[in-house]
Amino acid sequence: MSFLDRFARWLPGHREPRSDPLLAALEAFHDPAADPLQLIRRLVAAIRPKSRKDKGAPDRSTAVLDRLEADGDLRLAFRNHVVRFIATRRLVTFFTDSGILPGSGFLSEWSRILGSYLLPELLDERRLKDCLNIVYDHADDWRWREQIPPENSQRLWALLAPAEELQSADWAGIRQQMHDAVLLLAHRISGQGVEAELLRASPSLDDDLPCFVALSSEALEFVNARASLDEPASPADDGGHLLVIADQVASTLQRIRRRAQTVGTSLQLGYLLMRSEQSLERLRELVAILRAARGAHGRSEVIVPWSRFAREAFLAENRRNSLGYYMGQLSHLLAVRVTENAARSGEHYICETPGDYRHMWGSAAAAGVLIGGMALLKIFAAGLDAPLFVQAFLFSMIYGLGFVLIYLLGMTVATKQPAMTAQTLAGLLGDIRPTRRADLERVVDVVAAVCRSQLAAIAGNVMLALPVAIAIGSVLGEVAGQPVIPLDKAVHLLADLEPLSLAGVYAAIAGFYLFLSGLITGYFDNHAAFSDIGIRIGLLRWLRRLLGRARARRVGAYVQDHLGGIMGNFLFGCMLGSSGIIGTILGLPLDIRHIAFSSANLGYALVGFQFELRPSAVLWAALGIALIGATNLAVSFALALRTALGARGIVFEHWMPLLGAIGRRFRSAPRSFLLPPRAAATGSQRAMTPHGMYRVVKGFFSVSSVTL
């Protein structure tokens, strides 16, 4: 093409119309010499959305099917390319591995996914499993693939597998590889059934082991009997007995899963359970396809299970490099266990009777006294002008050891409540029916109890931390003969409470740490139960020689019961103590604000100013403390509730009826959100025994005697 021709085409109004890439990709199938892999890849690229706003992939997929159904020659050419392409690939790994966790283990697969972001994997075009990664070469292809209706998958395979083609050599080879996959899956499940981690978690080893062993032999008989499915005279075996044994294996895995939710679990056990369940489900799918492929009506019956299996396998293979999806798969069992441990602790943060209410006030007030002292220690440590690492260490030890002491003495820090009580509330939300008023009222009872418990804890912390700080600062100033809090430090403390500053952001960071501390508590409670920490501590020889066997066992039991609370509180303190220093090192606006310590800091600021602050400045600082407290509670509660609902697989969509019920209760009985019901109250406000309300919770949790 000459320069003048190219220039003429470049001029406005002289552009030639572009060809439709979708139609061009389809027409390319007419070439019998073309590479089928590249043809399929080109067609998928034409269907793939061009941007995030492009929602036309389902329509383009439908257009392809319409064109194939309308054009017989194109349909035949398309079928020849695609079926021959599938039949000439190694399919066993596709059947046995696509969408199933690999046997390499959690950390190895995690490392592989991270490594794939740095260096692409080497793919083998002889394997269908790898070819799928070549065709769907965008990491998020599964997102638009999910939007394509399942009916389109059925239409596609109906075009590729007409009745006259099912007995062809290509499809016979596909069935043979499916037989091999059934055997491999059965052997894999049998091998996983005797894994030490799975056997250890099995509630009844002698009853559970035989079904795993029998699965392999029964799968071999099924495959041998159906090795010639295209011959009507072949031995009849509908796979019924194999599926019965598969159901027994599934029941065993479910019992192990339920037991793990009670006595503890681990990532390795969760990985084994997930992989075994996925392999078992794949075995059932393949057996269902092979059963449907036999007989006069095989074609019409096999399309539905095959298309469903192929669609899910294609999606799963594309998701295999999604780290978020991978972690979500594996974290479910552990998340349920962790959140339920936190929920048991959450029950002890909810006071129902007047006695519980008074106890909450007392425990929170006692914690306020210690918090006042911890705040002063932190101020003194900051005044040492030590290196940043030393400051972070000192702050972390002051907070961490202080919170552990508060926990071991049975005291209450108000902000620890939301992350725990949200777990308890999530357990109730999963079982209510919004059409039943009694279910809603039951949840409202718990919400009211949570509110008054939270207010009592906040009041106890703040009302003691503030005067204790004033008293300590004043006494130490009199003893030292000079103000214990310098004026410049008092100015800094007061500035930290400024409502229009970053105090709200820092309070949100503290709320996130509170949420994490709840998960840490649940995680270590789970670890202690699963690993039998108490029994193992009781077996320590040096401890037995020091304390005797009986006392060593009691020490072990105490550590097991309190390990979650100790670690959750200590690490929460470390997060609070080190955040500001990390922010300084990184040059980021990173810090924390906590309502109880903020109230103590206000007391020390008053001492530093020698009580000469204007009332408006004090009220402005009090408003900042209220903002900090509200943010602490809201962030930790929202995150904990979302996590607990997600861990249990609960999709609660009835917030408006629930909020309406809470509003009606607040209008009719506002006192119930502030104070416990009187002993003589009746109806929905009737007083209960200390654990009366939580009989409804016992259906979800085994109530622990440990109090956080």
Say if 307 falls within a structural domain.
Answer: no
Task: Report how far apart, in Å, the C-alpha atoms of 681 and of each of 183, 438, 672 are.
Answer: 67, 18, 11
- Residues 268 and 395 occupy one common structural domain: no
What is the structure's pLDDT at 703?
29
- Residues 161 and 181 occupy one common structural domain: no
- Residues 101 and 182 occupy one common structural domain: no
* Residue partners of 117: CB distance under 8 A and separation at least 6: 321
Beta bridge partners of 90: 127
- Residues 611 and 547 occupy one common structural domain: yes
Distance CA 447, CA 684 (A): 13
What is the structure's pLDDT at 5?
55
Among the candidates 102, 131, 165, a domain finishes at: 165
DSSP 17: P
| Tens digits of residue pLDDT in 576-589 | 999 999 999 998 88
Closest to 63 (Cα-Cα) out of 77, 74, 79: 74
Distance CA 344, CA 702 (A): 7
Q: Could you tell me how many helices (H) and strands (E) the chain has, helices first?
A: 29, 0
User: Are the CB atoms for 669 and 678 separated by under 8 Å?
Assistant: no
Say if 315 falls within a structural domain.
Answer: no
- Residues 52 and 181 occupy one common structural domain: no
| Tens digits of residue pLDDT in 367-422 | 999 999 999 999 999 988 899 999 999 999 999 999 999 999 988 887 777 766 77
List the Cα angle 557/706/198 in 5-degree steps: 60
Distance CA 274, CA 295 (A): 34
Say if 449 falls within a structural domain.
Answer: yes
Say if 1 falls within a structural domain.
Answer: no
15-54 residues labelled b (16+ CB within 10 A) or e (exposed): eeeeeeebeebbeebeeeeeebeebbbbbbbbbbbeeeee
Strands (E), 569-685: none
pTM over cut 0.95:
no
Closest to 321 (Cα-Cα) out of 132, 146, 144, 150: 132
- The CATH number of residue 255's host domain is 1.20.120.230
- Three-state DSSP class for residue 322: coil
What is the structure's pLDDT at 226?
63
Angle between helices 549-586 and 323-347 (to 10 degrees): 120
Give the Cβ contact number of residue 234 at 10 Å: 13
- Residues 146 and 67 occupy one common structural domain: yes
Q: Is residue 215 left, alpha or beta, with left meaning phi > 0 and alpha meaning psi from -120 to 50?
A: alpha
Closest to 319 (Cα-Cα) out of 532, 100, 632: 100
What is the structure's pLDDT at 4?
52
Distance CA 501, CA 593 (A): 12
Say if 309 falls within a structural domain.
Answer: no
What is the structure's pLDDT at 702?
33
Name the amino acid, one letter, at 299: R
* Containing structural domain, residue 255: 167-292
Among the candidates 292, 320, 353, a domain finishes at: 292
- In angstroms, the first-to-last Cα distance of the chain is 82
- Residues 161 and 175 occupy one common structural domain: no
Distance CA 487, CA 491 (A): 6
Among the candidates 260, 292, 324, a domain finishes at: 292
- Domains contained in the chain, number: 3
Distance CA 646, CA 614 (A): 48
Say if 7 falls within a structural domain.
Answer: no
Say if 319 falls within a structural domain.
Answer: no
640 CB-contact burial (10 Å; exposed 0-12 / middle 13-18 / buried 19+): buried
Distance CA 461, CA 403 (A): 13
- Three-state DSSP class for residue 466: helix
User: Are the CB atoms for 112 and 101 separated by under 8 Å?
Assistant: no
- Residues 266 and 182 occupy one common structural domain: yes
Beta bridge partners of 127: 90
What residues in the chain have per-residue pLDDT under 50? 1, 14, 16-17, 229-230, 296, 342-343, 346-347, 680-708
What is the structure's pLDDT at 205?
64
Say if 172 falls within a structural domain.
Answer: yes
User: Cα 358 vs. chain centroid, distance in angstroms?
Assistant: 36
Longest CA span, the chain: 107
